[in-house]
Amino acid sequence: MELERLRGDSHWLYTVASIGRWLSICRREKQRPKRPAQIYVNGRFLQQPVTGIQRYGRELLRVWDGLIERREINPNQLKITVLVPRGKLDPPRLRHIEIARVGRLRGQLWTQLELPVCSKDGLLFSPDNLQPLMSPYLGKSVVTVHDLTFRLFPRAHTTAFRILYGLLIPSAIRNASALVTPSEAEKANLLGHYPKAKDRISVVHLGSPPIEASAPRRRPLRQAQMGSPERYILWVGSLISRKNPQGAIDAAAIVNQEIHLPLVIVGTGHRGMKSTRIKLPASDSVQIPERFTPSEELVALYRSAVCLLFPTFYEGFGLPAVEAMAYGCPVITSDIPVMREVCGDAALYCNPNRPEDIADKVKLLAANAEMQIQLRARGLRRAAQFSWERCARETLQVLQKVIREDDAEGSELAPTFST
């Protein structure tokens, strides 16, 4: 009996000691500060010429940095780091977001081999369509898929570009924890080809310039020095076939048979795209400025143009149209779902396959001052519905959701912060 009593007391004491040790461990764990949730941004876009995707990435960083400055993002709970490879870099001015050069490789070798390893202890966000093939095996990831041009307009791409994107974008769509896309129209395109991604796609519209800085102004002296005419129509964008620069040029030639209204083309080539062979008319109906600064001078062109001519065949969003509306420039664009979604009743719509129809819309607008005033007013109201602040906040909410879901599964990522 005495032996059994001693055994019982020993078991009771062992249980109490075990509970004490467990409580001690819990107390230490509670006292240990949680490390911030870590978001890594694939920053290769900071080494590329600034077009739509690069502007998108830069605006996200600018707004997020401001949210940290205002403590709407608590840096003790969330840390954002931009990872870039070696090489020339054009960094934005950021006070709170670190830009870190990592690895020894460059280009896609860096993206595929070094980026996933350097970002494995956090969430990797890729704002430019592509993510490393290894990312799904090393951690969580979010990708912004801007469009499916490699699939819908394959002939516009070089063979190497088409093969590369044909491998990497479908992999990203299938394997990313979440996807962001800039329009409902593009979401429909994605689901048409990748229906299993339905529950992982979030639509986040891109932004526009601040409307308070967008009121129409007089034609500045600098614009005259660039050689642009007093009255003109404007075309802005990469000189690639899906944006239909030839259709705009042909329409301008038709317009200028009746009225003098030159088309001013502001555009460049695009990496991975086949060179677009543009046939210029013998007349002066098309003008290409020798150079321009993509800020003040482009804004001046928007503000003084009769209209932006944007007869694109396919867009993921159509950023030039939103910029034009924000700067008080009437818009003539293609009658396709994405442009209807973006412009609403603030544009004239044309058939991009018929230069005659494009020209008719230009002549109609050029001859009607009241219509120009009306479209400018509607455009300003429409552009006010898009902002980079909203775009960045909604994108961050997508990243936040993935972090919280990962935390619920037992990850070390810390979950809570507010935007």
Q: What share of the chain is helix, strand, coil (3-state, %, to 5)?
A: 50, 15, 40
pLDDT (tens digit per residue) in 66-88? 999 999 999 999 999 999 999 99
Measured distance CA(7)–CA(381) in Å, rounded? 82
pLDDT (tens digit per residue) in 140-183? 999 999 999 999 988 878 888 899 999 999 999 999 999 999 99
Examine residue 10 and state whether it is found in any structural domain, yes or no. no
pTM for this prediction: 0.85
Measured distance CA(377)–CA(346) in Å, rounded? 8
- Residue 416 in this model has a pLDDT that exceeds 50: no
270's CB contacts (< 8 A; 6+ apart) are: 51, 238, 239, 240
Examine residue 111 and state whether it is found in any structural domain, yes or no. yes
Q: Are residues 169 and 225 in the same domain?
A: no
The length of the chain, given as a count of residues:
419
Higher pLDDT, 64 or 2: 64
Q: Are residues 138 and 224 in the same domain?
A: no
Examine residue 321 and state whether it is found in any structural domain, yes or no. yes
Q: Are residues 198 and 318 in the same domain?
A: no
The conformation of residue 45, written as its DSSP 8-state character, comes to G
pLDDT (tens digit per residue) in 295-352? 778 899 999 999 999 999 999 999 999 999 999 999 999 999 999 999 999 999 999 9
- Residue 6 in this model has a pLDDT that exceeds 90: no
Please give the mean pLDDT across all residues of the chain: 86
Examine residue 416 and state whether it is found in any structural domain, yes or no. no
Examine residue 172 and state whether it is found in any structural domain, yes or no. yes
Give CA torsion, residues 280, 284, 285, 288, to 10 deg. Answer: 70
Examine residue 254 and state whether it is found in any structural domain, yes or no. yes
Decide: 345 and 379 in contact? Cβ < 8 Å: no
Residue type, 175: N
Q: Are residues 142 and 220 in the same domain?
A: no
Measured distance CA(64)–CA(401) in Å, rounded? 16
Per-residue pLDDT averaged across 386-392, rounded?
97
Q: Are residues 266 and 189 in the same domain?
A: no
Measured distance CA(376)–CA(8) in Å, rounded? 88
Q: Are residues 360 and 218 in the same domain?
A: yes
Give the model's pLDDT for residue 21: 57
Higher pLDDT, 293 or 113: 113
Give the model's pLDDT for residue 284: 80
Measured distance CA(252)–CA(275) in Å, rounded? 21
What's the CA angle centered on 357, arms 188 and 214, to 5 degrees?
70
Q: Are residues 143 and 216 in the same domain?
A: no
Q: Are residues 401 and 374 in the same domain?
A: no
Helix (H, G, I), strand (E, B) or coil at 375: helix
The conformation of residue 127, written as its DSSP 8-state character, comes to S
Tokens 């924890």 locate to 177
The CATH number given to whatever domain includes residue 298 is 3.40.50.2000
Domain count, the chain: 2
Higher pLDDT, 42 or 268: 42
Q: Are residues 263 and 188 in the same domain?
A: no
Q: Are residues 164 and 57 in the same domain?
A: yes
Measured distance CA(216)–CA(387) in Å, rounded? 19
Q: Are residues 269 and 336 in the same domain?
A: yes
- Residue 243 in this model has a pLDDT that exceeds 50: yes
- Helix ranges (DSSP H) in 245-287: 245-255
Per-residue pLDDT averaged across 109-130, rounded?
96
Examine residue 312 and state whether it is found in any structural domain, yes or no. yes
For the record, the structure tokens of 275 come out as 């060179």
Higher pLDDT, 37 or 274: 37
Measured distance CA(254)–CA(399) in Å, rounded? 49
Examine residue 32 and state whether it is found in any structural domain, yes or no. no
CB-facing half-sphere around the CA of 185: CA atoms within 13 A: 16
Domain of residue 201 covers 37-207+388-408
Phi-psi category of residue 88: left, alpha or beta, with phi > 0 → left and psi -120 to 50 → alpha: beta
Q: Are residues 247 and 195 in the same domain?
A: no
pLDDT (tens digit per residue) in 254-263? 999 999 999 9
Measured distance CA(230)–CA(262) in Å, rounded? 10
Give the model's pLDDT for residue 51: 85
